[in-house]
Structure 1
Amino acid sequence: MLEATTLIVPIMAAMVMVSWVWTKMVKTLWLNPKRLERVLREQGLQANPYKFWVGDLKEIVKMDEETSSKPMMSLSHDLCPRLFPFVLNMLHKYGKNPFLWYGPTPGLIIMSPEIFKDVFNNPYGFTKGRLSTLMKYLAPGIVRYDGDKWAKHKKIISPAFTLDKLKTMTETFFQSCNEMIQEWEKMFLSSNGTWCEMDVWPSLMNMTQDVISRAAFGSSYEEGKQIFHLLRDQSQLVRKHLQRYHIPFWSFVHGKDFRRIKEIDRMVNDLVKGIIKKDEKAMKEEGEALKKDLLGILLESNQKETDQSQGNHNKNNNVWLSMNEVIDECKFFYFGGQATIASLLVFTMMLLGKHIDWQARAREEVLQVFGNQKPNFDGLSHLKIVTMILYEVLRLYPPVPRQDRLAAKDMKLGDLFVPAGVQIFVPILMLHHDEDLWGSDAKEFKQERFSEGILKAGKGNSPAPFLPFGWGARTCIGKNFSLLQAKMALSLILQRFWFELSPSYSHAPIILLTLQPQHGLHIILHKLE
């Protein structure tokens, strides 16, 4: 009898657990999605019927794999059919603002500029949401925070990106870019020719990695390359599972990959922590001042907040960054700074390799401002034609072609009621290519549209949504850093070479977290006389 009684307790506990799990699954996978679907449909919004567990993910993944399996037939800038085939299909099928299913999560597609402004301007109501659980491994730090935590990080990080600080980094930009140029010139010496064919994409990635290593840590790429290799491996694993991550228990089914993602995260944490502690040790033992790299400025700003808080007898450590938070920001410097700038530069060279006339006009401006001398901060800030070209590249080929937000609570968007748990899909690329907003030439390379600035670049010289760096208060904190580095690299390239697209170039943009050329960028590089 005692043995039977002893068995009853664990059996009942197991039954209670199974019942709880079953109830939770039914609510998550059926009841809640059907409730959200009903609320959205009652407002006239349309979508495919919800499919238990997977939603539209099977069709989304299939269409993405089909379009990315082959290059585009021509050098067209109409990227939406290639990058967002399922979303485009939904818009054609149901009109503007339909919704789709990321597993059991409905995603509302926003094509109205006024509505997306409300989304971006309300970081407390619309958060980074569930994707951040996976994306945190590649985009940690300020980029994934919301509310008060985001405000705290922005306050401490902002001093690292003021114009005065960027001036001091101009030499760093020059050093890394010039080393790349010297490597390109060596190819001419070895071939004794005036032209050569090459894939510049690896060079641009290495150069931007080198810039971030030096700017962030005052070290060369050799010291930071292990971090980049790890983050690159991690990005491939994350992308492999990103679309399917909304499927409940997906991480358990593919546990090996997710364990590797976490292992890489621990390894990167240890490497970055080692760099930080080495700097701190040098300061304590040798009395060195904080270096004026991004990490040094960040630590200095963080220490200032700590001292002020303690001086005011405020024991709340939420006003400064912990060691782990500093590490997260350093990892974001690495990934965010490198990937987005490399994307901007490679598509700039692609477009100028096709439009030789505008390449010549940009070179003429660079030579007029700098001659053959080293580009400087003041001159880079006054390159009007180069700036117009970079803006148009960012419009046609935004490094981050989409953004997502999650309704953290019941919200209103214009006349729409958005219940908590609905994801907001903002297709930046589609907004940038919308002919109603930018004119009939929206899918063409027309950099002159920015001749009077961003606010008059839209259709009929009116404002249009230009979102390569986000919007409003959440505008990317590294915007000026990215543009200044791109101007430095482009100026040095134009001073030494002219280039054209190689016949072997295969036009196949693909989203690997950022927009990248799937098969590289093959150009024919000519040495200027």
Structure 2
Amino acid sequence: MIAKVLSTIVTTILLALIVKLGWKVLNWAWLNPMKLEKSLRKQGYKGNSYKLLRGDILELATMVKEARLKPMPISHDITSHVMPFDNHIFNKYGKKSYVWFGPNPRIYVMDPELIKEILSRPDEFQRPKQEPLRDSIIGGLVVSEGQKWTKHRHIINPAFHLESIKSMFSAICSSCSDMIGTWELLTAETGVTEVDVWPYIDNLAGDVISRAAFSSCYEEAQNIFRIQKEQMELVLQLLFIIYLPGGRFIPTQANKKFHKNRKELHALARSIVDKRKKEIEMEESNYDDLLGVLLESNSKEIKEHGVGMSMEDVIEECKLFYIAGSETTSSLIVWTMVCLSLHQEWQTKAREEIMTVFGTGELHFEGLKHLKTVTMILNEVLRLYPPATNVLRTTIKETKLGEMTLPSDVNIIIPILNVHHDREIWGEDATEFKPERFSEGVANATKGKGSGSFLPFGGGPRICIGQNFAMVEAKVAVAKILQRFSFKLSPSYKHSPFAMFSLPPQFGAHLKLCNI
């Protein structure tokens, strides 16, 4: 009798648990998405009807895969090639639209005032806690929130102060000189050569971040860069499944390699941090690079307040230094060369300015602020070819945005590339290369639309901490290249901007270099 009662109780409990779990799954997979879709449509948003579990992800992945198969015509109007699915949605439903990433809706916000509002309220519009594409490649400040982000930003800030960057100036110049020396060897015999400059620029950015951040050279960091690039390629292979429930745990060959790489990358970053800590403790090293300044700042924070960053946190920031410090800057430099190849008059103007400030001699840090034309060119390249093509935020509760009331758990896409190419913001020449639009600064270039319309490094309190470092590196690279070479597109050049972590040229950048 007792056994029968116990059996009945256990059966009842199991059934209750199954029903509870089933309800949770039903709510997550169907009821909540349908509720969110109804709410968004009431707010005036349009999009495809929700498809159980997969949403729009298969259609998105198919369009991205097809776009990778061939280059586009040479033009700065790149949105349909770089973001084919987003462009398809805009054409079908207009700017006020949404897409489905699995059971999660993502709304597009392109109004500069609303963008400014979102980015200025980071506690209300946070980065999604779970974002497979982002979390698979980067961490650190990019994924931190709340008090953790505030403390980490405070600790890391000194590493990116202008004085710290100034102390790294010679390392940046040395890396650029090495690349220029290689190109001079290639042109030594005839004075001209046809070369894919992308691998050299990619290596340059890696060498700069290795020297300036970790006082090492590119060769020592090449395993980290190799793994990070491999991870980005693997993510593209996994795009069909990564947003599906449990997709990351399906034992495909790509998934297995991906998880193995994550462990190896973490181990490499840990060894770099541990080695530097020991060198500093034994007074065999100083604090004159990014990692050194970060460790010093963290040590000071712990002494003054008792709590700082853990070594795991420092390791995550180092991984972020490597990928963000190399990918974004290399993208800026290579597209600057492509744009100056297409617009020779601006190449001439930039070279004349550089020769006026530096002549043919060595660069000096103070001279960079006099490169007004170069700055205009870099800003225009950042507008047309932003390193990050979008920013993702989410609501953590029902939230007011402008005249709308957004429910909790709605992701927001700020499509930076589309905003930068928007004719309503920039005028009818929005897809043309016109650096003169920045002649009176960024504020005047946006025609009164404000900071929400120019977002190469994000915006608000969470604006990219490394933007000054990136701009200094880009100015040095462009100045040194233009001192020694003129260049134009090769007949074999294929226009192929492609969104990964940044916006690299998928088929390289084949140019004709000519000694001056």
Q: Does TM-score exceed 0.5, indicating one fold?
A: yes
**Partner secondary structure for residue 476 of structure 1:** coil
Match of residue 426 from structure 2? 438
Shift in CA distance, 185/11, structure 1 to aligned 2, threshold 3 Å? farther
Match of residue 77 from structure 2? 78
TM-score (normalised: structure 1): 0.93
Match of residue 36 from structure 2? 36
User: Is residue 2:497 matched to residue 1:509?
Assistant: yes
1:365-405: CA deviation from partner (whole Å, max 9, x where unpaired): 11111011111111112200000000000000001011111
Does the CA contact (< 8 Å) of 1:438 and 1:464 recur in 2?
no
CA offset at residue 179 of structure 1? Answer: 0.5
Q: Provide the C-alpha distance between the structure 1 equivalents of 2:450 and 2:317, rounded to a whole number of angstroms.
A: 37
Shift in CA distance, 486/216, structure 1 to aligned 2, threshold 3 Å? same
Match of residue 216 from structure 1? 213
1:447-503: CA deviation from partner (whole Å, max 9, x where unpaired): 000000000012489777110000111111000000000010111100111000001
User: Is residue 2:195 matched to residue 1:198?
Assistant: yes
Identical counterparts, % of pairs: 42
1:263-311: CA deviation from partner (whole Å, max 9, x where unpaired): 2222222222222222222233x3345331100000000000000014x
User: Is residue 2:283 matched to residue 1:295?
Assistant: no
Q: How does 1:104-503 map to 2 (within 5 A)?
A: 104-189=103-188, 192-242=189-239, 244-254=241-251, 256-284=253-281, 286-288=282-284, 290-310=286-306, 317=307, 320-459=308-447, 465-503=453-491
TM-score (normalised: structure 2): 0.95
Shift in CA distance, 322/169, structure 1 to aligned 2, threshold 3 Å? same
Q: Provide the C-alpha distance between the structure 1 equivalents of 2:44 and 2:482, rounded to a whole number of angstroms.
A: 53
CA offset at residue 254 of structure 1? Answer: 4.8
**Partner secondary structure for residue 440 of structure 2:** coil
CA offset at residue 11 of structure 1? Answer: 7.1
CA offset at residue 41 of structure 1? Answer: 1.4
Does the CA contact (< 8 Å) of 2:187 and 2:514 recur in 1?
no
Does the CA contact (< 8 Å) of 1:456 and 1:463 recur in 2?
no
Does the CA contact (< 8 Å) of 1:290 and 1:300 recur in 2?
no
Match of residue 52 from structure 1? 52
Q: Provide the C-alpha distance between the structure 2 equivalents of 1:214 and 1:289, rounded to a whole number of angstroms.
A: 14
1:202-247: CA deviation from partner (whole Å, max 9, x where unpaired): 0001111011111111011111111111111112222333575332
How much is the aligned-residue C-alpha RMSD, in angstroms?
Answer: 2.2
Match of residue 314 from structure 1? none
**Partner secondary structure for residue 408 of structure 2:** coil
Shift in CA distance, 328/460, structure 1 to aligned 2, threshold 3 Å? closer
Does the CA contact (< 8 Å) of 2:206 and 2:218 recur in 1?
yes
Shift in CA distance, 47/183, structure 1 to aligned 2, threshold 3 Å? same
Shift in CA distance, 478/303, structure 1 to aligned 2, threshold 3 Å? same
Structure 1 residues 517-526 or 34-43, which shifts more?
34-43
Q: Provide the C-alpha distance between the structure 2 equivalents of 1:12 and 1:258, rounded to a whole number of angstroms.
A: 39
The letter of the residue matching 2:511 is I
Does the CA contact (< 8 Å) of 1:105 and 1:246 recur in 2?
no
CA offset at residue 67 of structure 1? Answer: 2.6
CA offset at residue 92 of structure 1? Answer: 2.6
The letter of the residue matching 1:399 is P
Shift in CA distance, 229/458, structure 1 to aligned 2, threshold 3 Å? same
Q: Provide the C-alpha distance between the structure 2 equivalents of 1:15 and 1:240, rounded to a whole number of angstroms.
A: 40
Does the CA contact (< 8 Å) of 1:437 and 1:464 recur in 2?
no
Structure 1 residues 462-471 or 415-424, which shifts more?
462-471
Does the CA contact (< 8 Å) of 2:101 and 2:243 recur in 1?
yes
1:104-159: CA deviation from partner (whole Å, max 9, x where unpaired): 11111111111111111111111110454552342210112122211111100000
Shift in CA distance, 129/263, structure 1 to aligned 2, threshold 3 Å? same
CA offset at residue 89 of structure 1? Answer: 2.5
The letter of the residue matching 2:271 is G
Does the CA contact (< 8 Å) of 1:47 and 1:94 recur in 2?
yes
The letter of the residue matching 2:172 is F
In the alignment, structure 2 segments of 5+ residues that lack a partner are none
The letter of the residue matching 1:302 is N
CA offset at residue 26 of structure 1? Answer: 0.9
**Partner secondary structure for residue 246 of structure 1:** coil
Shift in CA distance, 281/377, structure 1 to aligned 2, threshold 3 Å? same
Shift in CA distance, 290/20, structure 1 to aligned 2, threshold 3 Å? farther
User: Is residue 2:95 matched to residue 1:96?
Assistant: yes
